Amino acid sequence: MHTSYYIFVPLVGFLVGGLVSATGIGGGLLLLPLQVIGLGVSPIVAVGSDIGFMFFTKLWASITYGRRGKIDWPLVRSLATGSVPGSLAGIALLSYLRFRWGDGVNGFLRILIGILLVALPAFILVMDRLNERFGDDSGYPLDDQTDSHRKAQIIGLLGGFLVGLTSVGSGSIIILLLFTFYRRPTSVLIGSDLLHGVILSGVLGIIHLHMGTMDLRLVGLLMAGSAFGVIYGSTITTIIPAVWLRRAILLLLIPFGLQMI
């Protein structure tokens, strides 16, 4: 491996860690195109490595939120009962396509990830504008525990399937749906989503390791950079308002997605 690899990969980790810390955008949305387009990693290995990166990053973050009492444990359990089966279905489909198409699965993943990189940022930007216009009234109070559990399972099922298939969804679609349908403090929803992400990525990470689609060296180098990026990410918002930085990044992701399609 060329020496520049050991310099450039931690820089990518630093960038992703800093931007996730500053904006709250899911790491999968940012890291996948940087791996595939910037580092030349095959899409299926990028998915597996992204899962490994997500596990360690969210583990550290969820410990911090847990110490502050910012985790809704029943919500995490409800999400996991939907997301774990959904993720297993997603990765089973990925494994089947890999068996059926061989390296051709990378072309399928590239197109699918490209579509998600166009659709999800556009969806998030629209929802941001709606929440900004209507405020907290856009959320739906779920006081009935049975209803709350069922809807969390559906959210988990959908997000888990996307994560299992592409690694995108845990820090984007799931948290967005939680903000839409739940009246909880923002910090509690984020903390709950982070812990749920640890469970989800832990299950999928073991499977990707078994499939040989996770590059542990790549994950380690990304984590080395991300550890510093997370620390300095919060200082970015003192220079650029987080909401404008978030929107700028989401808009920039759309051309990346179009390039991959």
Put residue 40 in one of left, alpha, beta given phi > 0 → left and psi -120 to 50 → alpha: left
pLDDT of res. 147: 66
Pick the range with the lowest mean pLDDT from 86-90, 169-173, 198-202.
Answer: 169-173
Q: State phi, psi for 108 to the nearest 5 degrees.
A: -60, -45
Mean pLDDT of the chain: 84
User: What pLDDT score was predicted for residue 141?
Assistant: 47
The mean pLDDT value for 144-166 works out to 85
C-alpha torsion sign, points 124, 130, 134, 137: negative
Region 159-183: what's the mean pLDDT?
83
What single-letter DSSP state applies at residue 169? S
Taking residues 95-121, what's their average pLDDT?
90
42: containing domain: 5-260
* Res. 157 pLDDT band, cuts 50 70 90: very high
What's the pTM value of the predicted model, to 2 decimals? 0.82
Q: 20-29, 105-114, 118-127: which has the minimum mean pLDDT?
A: 20-29
Handedness of CA 199, 120, 249, 5 (dihedral sign): positive
Query: How many folded domains does the chain comprise?
Result: 1
What's the confidence (pLDDT) of residue 245? Answer: 77
Higher per-residue confidence, 3 vs 81 = 81
Maximum average pLDDT range among 172-181, 190-199, 204-213, 252-261: 204-213
Query: Model confidence at 138, in pLDDT bands (50, 70, 90)?
Result: very low
Is 35:112 a contact under the CB 8 Å cutoff? no
| Mean of pLDDT values over 146-154 | 83
Question: Above 90 in pLDDT, residue 200?
Answer: yes
Q: 205 with 49: CB under 8 angstroms?
A: no
CA distances to 16, 33, 84, 188, 219 from 13, in Å? 5, 13, 27, 26, 9
- pLDDT of 143 higher than 50: no
Token readout for 208 is 């990707």
CA distance 19 to 38: 17
Confidence of residue 58 (pLDDT cuts 50, 70, 90): confident
The pLDDT value recorded for residue 106 is 92
Nearest Cα neighbor of 204 from 7, 67, 54 is 54
Whole-number Å distance between alpha carbons of 235 and 219:
25
Which H helix or E strand runs over 76? Answer: helix 73-101
Dihedral of CA atoms 152, 138, 122, 95 in degrees, nearest 10, equals 0
Structure tokens at 204: 């999928």
Measure the CA–CA gap between 116 and 94, rounded to whole angstroms: 16
